[in-house]
A = this chain, B = another copy of it.
Amino acid sequence: MKFLKIPAATITRLSLYTRALEGLIRDQVTVVSSKTLAELCGVNPAQIRKDLAYFGQFGVRGVGYYVKELMFDIKKILGLNKEWSLAIVGVGNLGCALVAHENFAKQGYRFVAAFDADPIKIGRKLVTGLVIHAPDKMGEVCREKGVEIGVICAPAQFAQDIANRLVEVPVRGILNFAPTQIQAPEGFKVENVDFSVKLDNLAYHLTAG
């Protein structure tokens, strides 16, 4: 079934499902129907069944889904049954906040390297104990620490340059917080986290609607 092309939206929803399931596990719920799960996630029940169908059969007809099992299966699909090693590039306010953010650690994402171009910061340690390196050490340090995902948290004008370095390391993917479109080689995965775009969306809807 993995040969079918899977909608990007499906992957995003799977991620949402894990959150709802987490809550159910906390509440000792053992079985859940697509209808109930759908209400928790704010989506259509058929949507959930269809999303899961891309990857196999996980439910029991007439019963529903076993919460823990489903959680395990979705995490496996998403590749969350391992730890991922991240590097932060740009440790300004936002970068520091991300490294310290507890949600990442909880999900198995570990920051194992940090970089910044500011000479004053180089050599210093973050609150987590991570040493800040100069950008030209990126290849060396990342390979040594086994970095798989680079997180760009620098001003927009430097983002492309940083991305180029990360591609050369090579890391396997990039999470970009800079408000700019990054060019990367075919097949290289870049995800953008863009809050100014989200704010602009709000502004538009509050103005027009």
Find A94's partner among B16, B97, B206 (CB 8 Å cutoff).
Answer: B97
Give which listed residue, B18, B189, B207, contacts A206 with CB less than 8 A.
Answer: B189
The reply on A103 being an interface residue by CB < 8 A is yes
* Residues of B close to A78: CB separation below 8 A: 200, 203-204, 207
> Closest residue to A41 on the B side, CB-wise?
B181
CB–CB B206/A173 < 8 A? yes
* A109 interfacial contact with B, CB 8 Å: yes
Let me know if A93 is at the binding interface, CB within 8 A: yes
Q: Which residues of B contact A101 (CB under 8 A)?
A: 93-94
Tell whether, in the assembled complex, residue A203 and residue B16 are in contact, meaning their CB atoms are under 8 Å apart: no
Question: Which residues of B have CB within 8 Å of A179?
Answer: 19, 103
CA distance A197 to B12 in the complex (A): 6
Mark each residue of chain A from 73 to 110: 1 if its CB lies under 8 Å from any CB of chain B, else 0: 00001111000100000001110111011011001010
User: A148's contact among B14, B19, B104, B206, by CB below 8 Å, is which?
Assistant: B206
Interface size of A by CB at 8 A reads 61
Is A32 located at the chain interface by the 8 A CB criterion? no
Q: How far does the alpha carbon of A202 sit from the alpha carbon of B148 in the complex, in Å?
A: 10
The verdict on A61 contacting chain B, using a C-beta distance below 8 Å, is no
Once bound together, how far apart are the Cα atoms of A103 and B98, in whole Å? 17
A207 contacts across to B, CB distance below 8 A: 78-79
Q: List 11 A-B contacts (CB under 8 A).
A: A12-B201, A15-B197, A15-B201, A16-B181, A80-B200, A92-B97, A96-B97, A173-B205, A175-B195, A192-B198, A193-B193
A residues adjacent to B (C-beta < 8 A): 2, 8, 11-12, 14-16, 18-20, 40-42, 77-80, 84, 92-94, 96-98, 100-101, 103-104, 107, 109, 148-149, 156, 172-173, 175, 177, 179-181, 183, 187, 189, 191-193, 195-209
What are the 3 closest A-B residue pairs judged by CB atoms, nearest first?
Answer: A79-B207, A93-B97, A15-B200
